[in-house]
Amino acid sequence: MFNKILIANRGEIAIRIMRACRELGIKTVAVYSSADEHAQHVQLADESILLGSAAPKESYLNADALIQAALASKADAIHPGYGFLSENASFALKVESANLTFIGPSADSIRAMGDKAEAKILMKQSGVPTVPGFEGLESDDDFKKAAKEIGYPVLVKASAGGGGKGMRVVNAENELSEAIESARSEALNSFGDERLLIEKYLADAHHIEFQVFGDKHGNLVHLFERECSIQRRHQKIIEETPSPLLTPELREQMGQAAVAAAKAVNYYNAGTIEFIVDSQPSTFNLQPFYFLEVNTRLQVEHPITELTAGIDLVQWQIRIAAGEKFPFVQSDFHQHGHAIECRVYAEDPSNGFLPSTGSLLQFIEPHGPGIRVDSGFSTGSEVNHFYDPLLAKLIVHAENRETAIQRMQTALSEFVVHGVVTNIDFMQAVMAHEDFAQGKVSTRWVEQTLRSLLPDVQQQADQLQSLIAAALADVVFVGSKSQPAVSNETDPFNPWKQTKSYRN
């Protein structure tokens, strides 16, 4: 087992990895940018190292600086978390070349599966159904020709990375050039790679992913699915497992496809095979699901799998990287109960989900049976514009879906954040919606239902403003009242000796 691990990330995922390390008796090294000097993950680590300025390219995307920090701190391994360099094959190779262990799959697997374009090509060769599209395009003319052949609407997206970054839906040819330019710019800034691919945009489909996990000895299983259809700007905001859409037969079929996809590249450690499930498969007259992409890393939403499958994925990531065998087979795993995760963001749903920045004047997390919060913030923390505005992941687990939804509604109502705008009220509205209760959602559901959800959010905001105004008016009214004079003669140390009355 490792003695010390450097965590090449920040925020809640860095803290999540630290806790797993602590339980395994492993020391941790945090890295941070100048903007994160006082961040929680820096305070909780055994030691910490400054990488550079706030810009990701100068800090969390600086591969050489990360490796030098690991060597200087005498760490044995590097855990990349998710985002940043977690799916960068060159970084994984550099880590191994420095005689350090990369906690994740091999560089070859990352290159083959982490690259969306290469992964689609490989899946096509392996007979796994894929969304119609093209890879390896460069010029705008190439994209226009491909889009015309596929048929609008199309989806332009980054070949590397994930998290909804570098993705644009294009409804007509006159939108294509601008979409390509903005997607390339975002992809380069987020992942250091500007390559794009194009594919048919499937409206009203479900986004369902399967967690796979394997060791270096050939053992590979799936840990069931996660329903990830509640999205905004192609970024997941609510996930749950089991999916209310899947039948046992479809779950079995997709699970087998996920394992087959991973085995095609001798995959080990944690990974996620993502699928698009067409609720009306007659659209293409094919089977109802299509391979979408592979995330060759730990997913943001891994806690709901941990709760329903009964396994600590982060600890097993570390143990597998250290060479241990995975002692389980597929039949050992079953889904227990129902789990939901809501991502609490500093963003304004009523203003296009734009990020909100500032100091957290109050940050109170909910507690109780079946409630888990993974966060990297606390009261007094600063939310800046340099990084993803994720404040916390709120996770609930219950014996069934109905109870889990009720528990999530209660937990959201008890989550208090002041100082920035959040999406908490918006997620409350989603939880209370009949479509969500019946599992009738799709990747476009938020977009289609937004107007009916926002009035509730706006009404609560208006009520809060009214309460604040009333409280301020009351303070002014009380402060304007004349107060009785206070005698200070009997106490020479009375703090009001130089005043005529008490002040409010």
Active-site residue flag, 343: no
Catalytic residue among 297, 319, 343, 407: 297
C-alpha to C-alpha distance for 63 and 31, rounded to whole angstroms: 12
Residues contacting 301, CB < 8 A, separation 6+: 226, 228, 236, 239, 341, 393
3-state secondary structure 287-351: CCEEEEEEECCCCCCHHHHHHHHCCCHHHHHHHHHCCCCCCCCHHHCCCCCEEEEEEEECEEHHH
C-alpha to C-alpha distance for 177 and 315, rounded to whole angstroms: 44
- Helix/strand/coil for 432: coil
Residue from 241, 218, 238 nearest 229 by CA: 238
Residue 162 contacts residue 87 (beta carbons within 8 Å): yes
Instruction: Say how many C-beta atoms besides its own lie within 10 A of residue 403's C-beta.
Output: 15
Residue 69 contacts residue 8 (beta carbons within 8 Å): no
The two three-digit tokens of residue 29, written as one number: 């090294």
183-55-69 Cα angle (round to 5): 120
The two three-digit tokens of residue 411, written as one number: 């937990």
3-state secondary structure 98-145: CCCEECCCCHHHHHHHHCHHHHHHHHHHHCCCECCEECCCCCHHHHHH
- Helix/strand/coil for 93: helix
In which element (H, E) is residue 170 found?
Answer: strand 167-170
Scanning the structure block, which residue is given the tokens 């996809």?
A: 261
The gap between the terminal CA atoms of the chain, to the nearest Å, is 61
Question: Which residue numbers are catalytic?
Answer: 297
